[in-house]
Amino acid sequence: MQGYILTMDSLRNLVQELMKTYKVVAPVKKETRFDFCEIEKFDDIRLDYDTSILPPKKYLSPPVETLLRFKRSENKAEPVFDTTPVVLFGLHPCDIKGIKHLDQAFSENNNYDRHYLAKRENALIIGLECLPYDYCFCSSVGSTFAKDGFDIMLIPIGDSYLAEVGSKKGEELLKRIQAKPSQELDIKKAEAFKSEKEKKIVRRFNKVNASTVRDLMQRTWDHKHWKELEERCLACGSCNLVCPTCFCFDVQDEVHINLDDGERRRIWDGCMLVDFAKVGSGENFREHRSQRLRHRINRKFNYLYDRFNSPTCVGCGRCVRACTVKIDPVEIVNELSR
C-alpha cells in the first residue's frame, strides 16, 4: 500500500483544485440525513457521514435521464450524452463496488450503454474508508475494502489521511498538489484503521458467506419465510430505488405542449413494484409481494452471481434504512439458513 499523506489543509487544496475543472459531488448534510450533492465549498463536505439517502450512482445513472430529443414533424431524433467532468468524492468501499457492478452491467457482452459510459468516462472517484453504521453488513458480501475501482482512496489516520493511488489520474492529481509520499508509520496506521473497521462490523450472515449465500438461495426457493414476508412488505419499491446496484429502468416519451418537440427519458424502475413484471396481456409474472421480494433477494445473491462473480448486494444497508417495515437482507439470509 504505497501512497501519499494528506493533512486536512492539503485535502482542502485537493478539493479546491478539483473544483476548478470538475463538478465536485460529495456527502453533505440534508435535514436529518446525508446525501451526495454538488458542493460549493470544501466545508460543505461531511467526511463523517454514515450513508447517503441515494447512492452516488445517481450522477452516473440519474433517476430521470434524457436519452434523446426528437421532433415529430421531421421524424428526427438526436441522442443526448452528458460529458460533464464530475468528481465523486468520499465514496465508501461499498459504493465503489456498486459502481464497478454498474460499469459491467452497462458494458458487458459488447452492449455499450453510451449514456452511462459518457458520464462514467468523465468521472473521477475518490473513496473514503469508513467505519460501520447501524444498518450495513459489508463483510458478509465481500465489499469491506475496495482494491480497485477508485482513482484515490482516503484512509483516515488520526488528523490526516493516507491517500492510496488507484489510477494514473489519481497519482497525477496528488503530485499536482505536492502531496508528500507516505511513511512506514502512516501505512501501519492505515492498516490499524482497517482492522478496527473489520472488528466493528456486527451485522453479519450467521451461517453463510459471500460465496455460499448463493447456494442457500437456491435451496430455499420454497421456504415459508417468503410467505411470512408477504404480510409485512408494502411493495413500495424504496429498497430498489436506494440500491447502489439496481439498474432497471422504464422508458417514457414526453412531448412538449407544441406537440412537436419532445424527449425520451429513462426513469429508475424497481422489481418490487406491482407493474414491473406485468405484460401486455395483463399477466403478471410476479403477482405477489413475496414473489417479488424473493426475486429481488435472489437477484442480489443468486441470479447475477455468475455474471459478476460475487453477490451484487454490496451491504450498504440503504434498503433496510429506507424500509418502513425494516425488511432486512441479513435477517432474511439468517432466517433462511437457520
Instruction: List residues binding another protein (CB under 8 A).
Output: 30-33, 35, 53-54, 58, 63-64, 72, 231-238, 241-242, 252, 254-255, 257-259, 267-268, 270, 273-275, 289, 322, 324-325
Q: Which is nearer to another protein, 189 or 286 (CB)?
A: 286
Q: Could you tell me how far CA 49 lies from the centroid of its own chain?
A: 15
Least gap, CB of 8 to another protein (angstroms):
28
The kind and range of the H/E element at 165 are: strand 160-165
Q: Which is nearer to another protein, 31 or 78 (CB)?
A: 31
Report the distance separating Cα 251 and Cα 246, nearest Å.
16
Report the distance separating Cα 232 and Cα 327, nearest Å.
8
Report the distance separating Cα 223 and Cα 54, nearest Å.
31
Q: Which is nearer to another protein, 54 or 201 (CB)?
A: 54
Q: Which is nearer to another protein, 11 or 322 (CB)?
A: 322
Report which of 261, 299, 266 is spatially closest to residue 113, judged by C-alpha positions: 266
Least gap, CB of 49 to another protein (angstroms):
14
Least gap, CB of 263 to another protein (angstroms):
13
Least gap, CB of 232 to another protein (angstroms):
5
Ordered DSSP codes for 201-215: -----SS--TTTHHH
Least gap, CB of 325 to another protein (angstroms):
6
Q: Which is nearer to another protein, 185 or 257 (CB)?
A: 257
Least gap, CB of 146 to another protein (angstroms):
24
Q: Which is nearer to another protein, 237 or 329 (CB)?
A: 237
Checking 24-29 for CB contacts under 8 A at 24+ apart, the result is 24/86, 24/87, 24/89, 25/56, 25/59, 25/86, 25/87, 25/88, 25/89, 26/89, 26/90, 27/52, 27/90
Q: Which is nearer to another protein, 191 or 230 (CB)?
A: 230
Least gap, CB of 216 to another protein (angstroms):
26
- For the chain, the distance separating the N- and C-terminal CA atoms, rounded to the nearest angstrom, is 39
Contact 72/259 with Cβ under 8 angstroms?
Answer: yes
Least gap, CB of 41 to another protein (angstroms):
21
C-beta atoms surrounding 150 within 10 Å: 24
Label residue 275 exposed, middle or buried (CB < 10 Å: 0-12, 13-18, 19+).
Answer: exposed
Q: Which is nearer to another protein, 56 or 315 (CB)?
A: 56
